[in-house]
Structure 1
């Protein structure tokens, strides 16, 4: 009969058990702020009862309590409790660099939002691109946060994958490759009203796993729907869902001039994964001209990232019929307006703002509270299911309408499209990017065809 060394057996058992359990490191010792430093603002942080509590203060910008250590891939867990009316968040993979806005904290933020908007667990890009993953489309995630109670958060940042949970409910599922390393920071948001002063946000049980976090990642089946922010790519998940690139980020394949059989020889430039319509005279389709997809589309979800240069005008059109209007001007179709509302005069024309950014041009105005990010790329989305159509901007629905009925025909009759027979009622059409004589940048153009 074999004899075993009991100590050796127990050691092997312990090692095997540890290999299956995350190796957690506490970021907060429960007693003081050792390992943390305050950045940007002057709001106060106190330690008591094993908690870090931030206290809102008038007259200061956002204040951040940041780890002195930087983290790349990790699983982060913490508990938080926030007063009603006080917005907050937890930064991760964030930085404070002198060369960027004189040291302003910027980077990914796990949103803490006790307002009726209920975006707790969404991902915001602080002092940079704004909302990357709002929770507009996910009611289950919006219900996860418990007002006035302690809530448990989990963030998994592994490679380009960033996922979040609140109280075990999946909230965000983002692919992004902008920043791969940075500090973690607790935010006390700036306030504008005196009655918000002195409100608190508290954190406790802050711990991180940096040793092989991929081994302890949550299965994708337990994640929120994925949003891919990596330009001109289709993720494995998107491919399974039926998404395809409408522009490959490198060539003109699949596109032609709206009034040509080939791609325009001037007026459009492909530069480092960005498709630019070049500045000319500000005229409608007078330089390179509009470009359209070779293929026509019927029911679909279209996503396009765009950046507007100051004072610029352009548009994303769908249900385009290139066989009409062979003369001057743009090809005819329904248009998601792309416009600098502040600097372009067209924003003040039309009726009740129906020529502003995101509007169904000259027909239906976009919601005035639309979440536009000037100076950055924004995501336009058009959803077409038969006669029911939606415009979205950065994850927020801003226009909804139904065509083919009496109200639709009345809108068309009162618009600049009244002379085009059956305008907007065509069953299918090309998708168009407009040349309006101003520089506008496009990327990440993708489509999912629907039944």
Structure 2
């Protein structure tokens, strides 16, 4: 199996991995083709910092997938790249085939405009590899879409694909055959549409589903009486030298990616985003707090993303007949930790509700007073009988109230709604569980981040 954006260096006989309902078959021997890439330094950069990868006049930097030239069916028409259709669907002709820009991008934001003919179908592929695989003793080029997610491009009104799939997940801008674009706001055939963030998943929409069977794991907790208390009555839950009281979420030890660096807890980034490695994962303090005030300092690396979780539970849920550990954030509100200037999440969400100190994806921090990457910020989180306040650098920036109709409404308008993620909705709507208490957690989001001077005052 080809990992998305995967390793270009080795031929593999993949026995690897994905969960299937049928008995898994081994992938054939395959190879990722390595060809010269365009040097981005040779491209113009516009005033907003975007590389212009099509100049409106030439195919500089472009070539056919699996080819060294631009296939004849691709032309330039009034400042636009045009594919001159054959009517053959995916049965590509020798003078056609997919077109690629010859540079491999990793973390990026893509913007373009597209229009489609009546009844037309196309797509925007990203993180694609050029792959050949063995068949009958020979290596043969494989279709681009077996290694690449696809942003669907479609005439929704006239192409039958719009009625196939599930919940419209083959309509324009959807993650093809997986996640429908919501709202579905494509313009009719022959009109220009704007596409952005082709690498980001569209929001989901489906009928509300029941949450799967789940279990909250119960493990021994730290006795607060064993901790030092400072002169202001706060428990010091990190002593600057050891991980006493801390462990990995869903684990009994501290994962190796978490270290102590100059009196601070540091996560040593992998660059993998939320795809946590075995020696990483989120870190929690092993005591469930109910009414409390948490204070700490944090700093983030350039382009970094992390978070502070609270009232978290350790949850396992049923999948394919087995109980599997779920992500910490499906049971826990998140105080966002972000480099607002350099991480694309700052531009997503609504009204800045994914920027630093925000209640992630729900309430923006106002004022937004985070310091730049590499500088220390002061964070405060107060939870008292359902009232929650986020503070940042000496100012209260968020206030909301758990277990209220307003809280339920916020969840329904977020990625954690009962339609999109029924288990997360059920857990967050009853945040902290029956006793309204939970763990404090620090997030592994794949980037370097530091936390220090961590203390908690119990308000019970």
TM-score (norm 1): 0.45
Q: Which has the higher strand share?
A: 1
Q: Which has the higher contact order (CA 8 A, sep 6+)?
A: 1
